[in-house]
Amino acid sequence: MKRSCFLFYLFIAALFYQPSLAQTSIAKNVKTVLFLGNSITWAGTYVNDIETYYRVQYPGREIEFINVGLPSETVSGLSEPGHANGEFPRPDLHERLARVLQQTKPDLVFACYGMNDGIYMPFDSTRFKKFKEGTLWLHDEVTKTGAEIIHLTPPDYDELRGKCKGYSVVLDLYSDWLLSLRQSMQWQVIDIHYAMKKYLLAHRQADAKFGMDAFALAEDGIHPGETGHWIMAREVLIYLGFKGLEKTAGIQQGIQQNADPLKLIKLITERQTLLRDAWLTATGYIRPGLPAGLPLAEAQAKAREMLKEIKQLLLAKQ
């Protein structure tokens, strides 16, 4: 019976997962790319992977990738009772979006919300309505600035590792709604949700066959590790028109033509962390517990020096 249920869910994941329709990379007039999201975006691994791969493919392009993901944040404005043991409610993107857009002046925005927006409870139509309203508001606020926005479906929630039973179905529904907007509203939406679900279920099946412990993309059911972040990055890169990444296991394999891929990944990660903290501090947010960033001008000066070293690595021959 359990095997039949598992195969059914694997079939459903495969049915819903279809690679996002590709466009032709990032437009030539794009100089600043902004990433909005919650703690998964704040962790930044998928952002770093996207920047690293893009820079290797286009070493001459002058694009700044800015990560202003904020842990615990929602686009719905909701917060569950006793969040963070009652220390603070979830941050609401409505509070800071105007400042972020005004100060970063992005040409292209990637937005990844949903994981926190159902506030880890069973499906509720009122909460779903708030997620929809917040997403529509975000889309309108970005497009009013003249920037382009691409939405990411929420990552998959792993109920085997997480504590919230039924929450995977909530994020399925949130993802399905976002994906429906491709046709109904002509939105750009990249599906990371079903890509992660398909990968997870396939590996779980293989582990069960050999009597191994169940594979996980996120040890807590929420926050993906490197493999989960790479799946997110990979789907974005495929959408941007990069071919042949479907079976690429990770960013290091994806940039193996570089002379020193590990050093390049390390440098881009360090630079991204420096600028992320500085941008968050400069634009402001309501949430305790995050590291204070350097003054923005100081961080940008350091980042320019780091970029020189990154460009040297990009041009180095194996």
Note the pLDDT of residue 25: 78
* Closest C-alpha among 248, 273, 274 to residue 261: 248
**Could you say which DSSP state residue 67 is in?**
E
pLDDT recorded at residue 318: 55
Region 2-315: CATH code: 3.40.50.1110
Give me the pLDDT at residue 213, please: 74
Residue ranges for the chain with pLDDT beneath 50 = 1-22
**The pLDDT of residue 209:** 63
Q: Which of 259, 266, 246, 253 is CA-nearest to residue 306?
A: 266
Domain ranges of the chain: 2-315
Check residue 295 and give its pLDDT: 98
The per-residue pLDDT for 23 is 53
Q: How long is the chain?
A: 318
C-alpha to C-alpha distance for 273 and 296, rounded to whole angstroms: 13
Token reading at 81: 């009772």
- For residues 182 and 11, is the Cβ–Cβ distance under 8 A? no
Q: Where does residue 88 rank: exposed (0-12), middle (13-18), buried (19+ CB within 10 A)?
A: middle
Structure confidence at residue 13 (pLDDT) = 44
pLDDT at position 206: 82
Q: State the Cα–Cα distance between residues 260 and 90, nearest whole angstrom.
A: 40
Tens digit of each residue's pLDDT (9 = 90 or more) over 219-240: 999 999 999 999 999 999 999 9
Average pLDDT, the chain: 92
